[in-house]
Amino acid sequence: MPEDTKLSREPTEPAHEHHESSLTGYIVIWLILLAGTALTVIAARIDLGRFNAAVALTIATIKALLVALFFMHIKGAHEKLLKLVVISTIFFLFILLTLSMADYGTRTWS
Amino acid sequence: MSMATATIQPVERENYLNKEYGVGSWLFTTDHKRIALLYLISITFFFFIGGFFALLIRLELLTPASDLVQADTYNKLFTMHGMVMVFFFLIPSIPAVLGNFLVPMMIGAKDLAFPRINLLSWYLYIIGGIMMLHCMLTGGVDTGWTFYTPFSTAYSNTKIVEAGLAIFVTGFSSILTGLNFVVTIHRMRAPGMTWSRLPLFIWAHYATSIIQILGTPVIAITIVLVAAERALHLGIFDPRLGGDPLLFQHLFWFYSHPAVYIMILPSMGVVTEIIACFARKRIFGYSFVAFSSIAIAVFGFLVWAHHMFVAGISVYAALVFSLLSYAVAVPSAVKVFNWTATLYKGSIHYDAPMLYAFGFIGLFTMGGLTGLFLAALGIDVHVTDTYFVIAHFHYIMVGGALMGYLGGLHFWWPKISGRLYPEGWARLAALIVFLGFNLTFFPQFVLGYLGMPRRYADYSHMPEFQVLNVLSTAGATVLGVGYLLPMLYFLWSMRYGKPAPDNPWKAAGLEWMTTSPPTTFNFETEPVVTWEAYNYDEIDSAHKQEVKVVG
Amino acid sequence: MSDSTVVGLHHEEQHHPELLHHFAEPQQQEDSASLGMWIFLGTEVMFFGGLFCAYLIYRLAYFGDFAAASQTLSWKLGATNTAVLICSSLTVVFAVYAAQQGKRTMLIGSLVLTIILGFAFLGIKATEYAEKFEKHHVPGPSFQFDNVPVPGHPDQMANRGHAQIYFALYFIMTGLHALHMIIGIGFFTWLLFAAWRGRFTPEYNTPVEMGGLYWHFVDIVWIYLFPLLYLIDLHK
Amino acid sequence: MFDNFPLWPDRASAAAGNVDALFIFLLIVSGLMSLLIFSALLYFAARYRHRRGVLAEQIEGSTPLELTWSVVPFMVFMVIFVWGAVVFFKSRTPPRDSTEVYVVAKQWMWKLEHSEGQREINELHVPVGRDVKLIMTSQDVIHSFFIPAFRMKQDVLPGRYTLAWFRATKPGTYHLFCAEYCGTQHSGMIGSIIVMEPAQFEAWMSGSPAGPLSASGEKIFAELGCVTCHRADTPGRGPNLEGIFGKPVQLEDGRTITADENYIRESILDPGSKVVSGFKPVMPTFQGLVSEEQLNALVAYVKSLSQPVATSTRTAAATQQDNSRAAGSQVQ
C-alpha cells in the first residue's frame, strides 16, 4: 500500500547529489553482464535436460536485476515507492503467466 | 427542500471558463478543467450514438422475426453498441470527466502532474473516436465487442483491423490518464493532505488508475496480434496451424474483466462522496472502504476466466477462477454495507444527486448479487451467453456506473459550470431513469434463465420469449427519455441556471473551498489541510443558522 | 505550452528556468517525472507480457517444433546483439553520469556512442530479417518449412504450422523490440541536440535520466528475448 | 402472445434438478440480502430524514462489524462455490458406458451422427433415461451446444473435441441453440432434441439402415492404409490400437497421457506431437486429407477396438446384439 504518509512536500535532500557511484562501479557491472551473456550461451550448449530453460531464465533475471538496480538507480533511490511500482508490475505479469498456465497446465488432467 | 442556497453573484469573477476565449484556448489548453469539459462533450456524443444503437436493438427484438434490419446489420448493431459504449463511453466517462476535473482540486494541486500528456490523452481519444466513426460509417464490425477468434481473424470480412486500431489508440488515452492520476496523487498533494485525509473519490480513482495502467497494455497487444493475423496471416490464433482460440480469450479477458472495474470503481467513489455530503456524515469505516477499492483493483486481475467456464478451459482452472471470483465479490459487498451504515443516524437530504446514489446502491446490489449466480460453476453453465449475463452486466454498468456518473455530474455541476441545475427536473429524470432501467433489464433475468441466447436477432422459433422482450423494449424507450432530460436541462442551466455559490451543498472537500467555477489554478493561495476527511460535524456546527431557501 | 505569467502563487521570481508552473519546486517535478517514467515502463512490461504469455504457452505445447525453428536463427548474431545492447547500456549510464556532473563533452560523446550502438543493433537485426525473407521463414502464404528435423529426433520432421507460430511470435516480439529501439534512438538524437545546445545542467538533467531508464528497459527486454528465442535446445 | 408465457424453463434432464436447486437457493440468499439492504436503506432514509436543528451523529466505524460482514458473506460464498463446483463436476464427467453422438458444428447448422450410424441435421433423437455423451468439434468458428431444458451448454471449438453429456428424463421436444456468436445466421443455428420412449426410439432407429459409425470407421481405416502399420496381429511400425482407448499411454519424451478422443484426433492430424514410446515418428500427417465426419468415424472405430469383445461392433452380427442390448436396458 502506498506508505509514504509524510507531508507531501517535506524538503527531501536535493536530487542531484546522487550518491557518488563511480564509473568503475558501472564498468564492473558491465563486465558481469557481458560474462552473463557468455554464460547463457555456454549453458545453452550443455544438455541439462529439463533445466536448460530454468538456467537460462535465472541468468537473464540476474542480468535484468543488475541493470535495474545499478544502471537504473533503484538501489540508491531515496523512496520505496519506485520499488513498489516495479514489484507490483512484476506481480501482475506473474499473475498473467501463472493463471493462464493454470488452464493450459491442467487441460490433460481430466 | 433543496439544500442548494442560491446567492446572486455581484460581479463576473475571472474563472477558468471566461479567462480565455477562442477555439485555440480550448483545443490547446493544458488546464485539467477544460480538458474535462472537452471529454464531457466528446463522451456525451459517443453515449448517444451507443444509445441509439441500443434502441435499434431493442426495436428489432420487439418482434420474434428478424424484420427491422437484416441479420448482419443486427450483428453490426450490437457489436458497435458494445464497442462504443465500453471503450468510448464507460471506460473514459468518470475518470476522464469528473476525475480530470476534480482529482487535482480535491488534493489541493494546481493541475495534474503532466498537463500536456493530459491533452495528448484527449487527442488520442478523439483520434480513436474518429477512426471508430469512420469504421462504423464505412461498414462497421460484426464480431461482437469481444471479437473472438477464429471468427474475427479468419471468418469475418468486416473492418476489424480498423476498429481494433481505433480501440488501440483510445486505449493509450486511458493508460496515460491512469498514469497522470497516480503520479498526481502521489506527488502533488497539498501540505497536510495525507493518505488518510484523501477523499474516497481519490482512492477510487487511484485503484482505477492501477487497472488502467496494468491492464490496458494487454488488450493493446492482443489487438496487435489480431490485426497482424488478419493483415499478415501470421496465424497465432488460427486452429488450422495449431493456434489456440482460447489463448485469445485469456488475453482478452485478462484486460476486459478488470475493465469492468475501471467502469465501476470511479462510480463507487462518486457515490461515496454524495452519500457523505447528503447524509451530513463521515463515511462509515473510511479505511475499509479505501482499501476495498485497492482490493477490487488487485483481485480484479485474478478472476478473468469466469467468462470462459464453458469455453473449453480445463475443469480445474474453472474451479480456481470460480473460487477467486467469490473473493473479489467481498470488497464490493463491504462497500455496499458501509454506504448503508453511513446513512445510520445521518441527516439525509433528497436532492437529485442523492436520488442517483440511492438508485446506484439498489441497482449495483442487484448486479453484484447476480454476479454470484454467474460465479457459481453449476449455474454459469446454464446462464452464460444468455440474457441473464446481459442483464447482470447492464445492472452493473448502466445501473451502477452510469447512475454514479449522472449523480456525480449533478453533484459537481455547480462547481463545473457555476450554475445550478433545475432541481425538480433533475429528481424527475432520476426517477424516470430508475424505473425505465428496471423495466428494461429485470425481464432479461427471466429471459436468461429461460434460455434465450444473447446476440440473437430472430427468435421466431421461440415465441414464448416475446412478452418479456416487449417489456424490455418498452423499458428501453423510457430509459432513453430518462437520459435525454439531463442533457437538456444541463445545457439549459449553462444559460439560464441560477448562479451557483461556491459551496451550494455545504460539502466537505477542497474542491468546494474554491470559487465555482474555479480559477485556472484552482486556489488563490495554496491550501494547507488540517482537518480529517468528511468533517461534516465541523461544517454543520459552523452553519448553525440554516438559510431557508425555496428549492 | 505558454508559460503564462504566474499570478499570485509564485511571489518570488522564478529562479529555475525549467520549472513548470504547476510544480512548487524542482525536486517535486523530478520525482513526478521519474515516477511517471517507471509507471510507463510498467505498462511496457505488461505490453510485452502478453507476448511472453503467448510464447510461454506455445513453447510448452510445441517444444520440438519451436526448437527446430529456433535453430534456423544464428545464435551468434543474437549474442553479438545482446553484447551491443549491454555496451549501449553502459554508454547510457555514462551519459547520465556526465549530465549530473555537468561534463558536457563526456555527455555528448556517450550520447553519440549510444546512438551508434543503437544503429548497430538495428543493422544486425536487419541482416537477420533479410536472411529470414530469403529462406521463406516469414509467416504467411510464402512460408516454407518442409522436412526440417526436430533437434534430437533426426527422423521426425517439424510441423509446418507450429513452426509458423514460432516465427509469428519471433517477428512480432523482435519487431516490437526493434520499434522501441527506433523510438529510443530518436529520443537520444533529440537529447544529443539538447545537450549540444547546453540545456542540461547538474540541476536540470531529467530528460537524460528518463531516456536512460527507457533505454535500460529496452535492454532488459532483449536480455529475456535472446535466450528465449535463440537458445532453445541448442545442445542437441 | 400470452398463451405461451412460461416464467420457468422445462426441467427435462437429470442435471436440471440440481442446477435449479442451486439457483433457487441463490435466489433466496440474494433475495434476503437485498431485502436486508433495501429495508435498511429505506428505514434509514425515512428515520434519519433531515430535521431542522438536528445534526448528524458522526460515527467513525467499527472494525469488528466490518470483519463480520466480510467474513460471513465469504462463508456463504464458499457454500455456494462448493455446491456449484459439485454440480459442475457432475455435468463434466460423462458416465462410462453412455452412448456416443458425434456432433460437427458448421456455420449455421448442426450435423449429428449416432454411433449406431444414423445421421441427423439440427435434430437429435434420444431415448429417455439413457446417458448420451456428445463428442463435439467445429469446422470453422467457435459455436456452443446449448439445450436450456437440460441446463447444458458447452462451447464447440475448431481443431479439438469438447465433451458434454446429459440424460433426458422427460419425453418431448426441446430447443437446441447455438450460444456462442458465430456469424450472420447465428440466430438461425437452432434445432431440437426429440426425447422418445425407448420403444419409439427403437422404431425410429431401425428405420434408417445405416451401418454403425465404427464400421464406416473401419472402412476408412483400411482405405487410408492405416491398417498397414497399426496391425492387431503382428507388431507393425505403428502401435497396436486394440484396447488402448481410455488407458494411459507412455510417450517417447517420457510423459504419460490417457488416450482420449483428443489424443486420437491429434495423433491423426499431427502425429509427431505425441509419439508413443518405442516407435519411430514416421506416420505422415492427415491434416486436410480427412473430413471431420471421417475423423469421427476413425475415432469411433478406434474406440470400438477397445470395448470388451462381447459388444464389439466390428462384425456385421454385432449390430443385432447392439439393438437387443439397447432394447433390454430398462428406463433409468
Q: Choose, out of C46, C56, C142, the residue to mutate when testing the contact with B (most B CBs < 10 Å).
A: C46
* Residue numbers in C near D266 (CB within 8 A): none
What are the tens digits of pLDDT across the range B211-256?
999 999 999 999 999 999 998 888 899 888 889 999 999 999 999 9
CA distance D213 to D165: 19
Nearest to B320 among A2, A8, A102 (CB): A102
- For residue D42, the one-letter residue type is L
CA angle at A86 for the pair A84 and A91, rounded to the nearest 5°: 90
- Angle between helical axes of C75-101 and C206-230 (0-180°, round to 10): 170
DSSP one-letter string for D273-298? GGPBTTS-S-PPP-TTTS-HHHHHHH
Burial class (CB within 10 angstroms; exposed 0-12, middle 13-18, buried 19+) of B386: buried
* Residue numbers in D near C64 (CB within 8 A): 272-273
Contact call for B235 and C39, based on CB within 8 A: no
* Residue numbers in B near A88 (CB within 8 A): 210, 214
User: Does the beta carbon of C48 lie under 8 angstroms from any beta carbon of chain B?
Assistant: yes
* Residue numbers in D near B368 (CB within 8 A): none
Q: How many CA atoms lie within 13 A of B521 on its CB side?
A: 17
Nearest to C159 among D270, D275, D280 (CB): D270
**Superfamily (CATH) of domain B23-541:** Cytochrome c oxidase-like, subunit I domain (1.20.210.10)
Q: What's the domain range around D66?
A: 14-44+62-92
Q: Least CA distance to B215: which residue of chain A? A: A92
Backbone phi and psi for residue D101, each to the nearest 5 degrees, phi listed first: -125, 130
Global pTM? Answer: 0.92
**Residue in C63, C39, C52 with CA at minimum distance from that of residue C222:** C52
- For residue D255, the one-letter residue type is R
Q: Name residues 171-190 of chain D within 8 A of B (Cβ).
A: 175, 177-188, 190
What are the tens digits of pLDDT across the range B385-418?
999 999 999 999 999 999 999 999 999 999 999 9
**Residue in D145, D144, D181 with CA at minimum distance from that of residue B156:** D181
Contact call for D273 and C157, based on CB within 8 A: no
Give, rounded to a whole angstrom, the gap between the first and last alpha carbons of chain D: 37
Is this prediction's ipTM beyond 0.85? yes
Q: Mind listing the domains of chain C with CATH numbers?
A: 47-230 (1.20.120.80)
Nearest to A108 among D92, D93, D257 (CB): D257
Q: DSSP secondary-structure letter at B521?
A: T
**Interacting residues of D210 by C-beta distance below 8 A, sequence separation 6+:** D116, D117, D118, D119
Nearest to A40 among C87, C227, C235 (CB): C227
DSSP one-letter string for B103-154? HHHHTT-SS-S-HHHHHHHHHHHHHHHHHHHHHHHTT---STTTT-TTIIII
**Interacting residues of B367 by C-beta distance below 8 A, sequence separation 6+:** B392, B393, B395, B396, B399, B400
The cell numbers describing B106, all together, are: 480535491
Contact call for A41 and C231, based on CB within 8 A: yes
Which sequence spans correspond to the domains of chain A?
A: 21-72, 78-105
Find residue D191's DSSP bridge partners.
D176
What are the tens digits of pLDDT across the range B143-179?
999 999 999 999 999 999 999 999 999 999 999 999 9
Contact call for C36 and B232, based on CB within 8 A: no
**Residue in D296, D111, D113 with CA at minimum distance from that of residue D189:** D111
Q: DSSP secondary-structure letter at A6?
A: S
Contact call for C27 and A64, based on CB within 8 A: no
Write down which chains contact chain A via at least 3 CB pairs under 8 A.
B, C, D
CA distance B39 to B124: 11
Residue D315 lies in a domain: yes
Contact call for C53 and A97, based on CB within 8 A: yes
Instruction: Give, for all 332 residues of chain D, the pLDDT tens digit.
Output: 677 788 889 899 999 999 999 999 999 999 999 999 999 999 999 999 988 888 888 888 889 999 999 999 999 999 999 999 999 999 999 998 889 999 999 999 999 999 888 899 999 999 999 999 999 999 999 999 999 999 999 999 999 999 999 999 999 999 999 999 999 999 999 999 999 999 999 888 887 767 888 888 888 988 888 888 888 888 888 888 888 888 888 888 788 888 888 899 988 988 888 888 888 888 888 888 888 888 999 999 888 888 765 444 444 444 444 444 444 433 33
**Residue in B293, B268, B262 with CA at minimum distance from that of residue B404:** B268
Q: Least CA distance to C30: which residue of chain A? A: A15
* Number of independent structural domains in chain D: 2
User: Does the beta carbon of B327 lie under 8 angstroms from any beta carbon of chain A?
Assistant: no
Contact call for B236 and C62, based on CB within 8 A: no
CA distance B163 to B148: 14
> Which residue carries 430447443 as its cell?
D175
The cell numbers describing D271, all together, are: 502425429
Cβ-contact B507, B349 below 8 angstroms: no
Q: Choose, out of D48, D269, D285, the residue to mutate when testing the contact with B (most B CBs < 10 Å).
A: D48
CA distance B31 to B521: 8
What distance in Å separates residue B264's CA from the closest CA in chain A? 21
What distance in Å separates residue A108's CA from the closest CA in chain D? 7
**Residue in D242, D217, D213 with CA at minimum distance from that of residue D309:** D242
**Residue in A99, C53, D73 with CA at minimum distance from that of residue B303:** A99
Indicate the helix (H) or strand (E) that contains D259: none
CA distance B407 to B326: 29
Q: DSSP secondary-structure letter at C8?
A: S
CA distance C81 to C85: 6
The cell numbers describing C156, all together, are: 521426425
* Residue numbers in D near B365 (CB within 8 A): 33-34, 37-38
* Residue numbers in C near D272 (CB within 8 A): 64, 150, 156-159
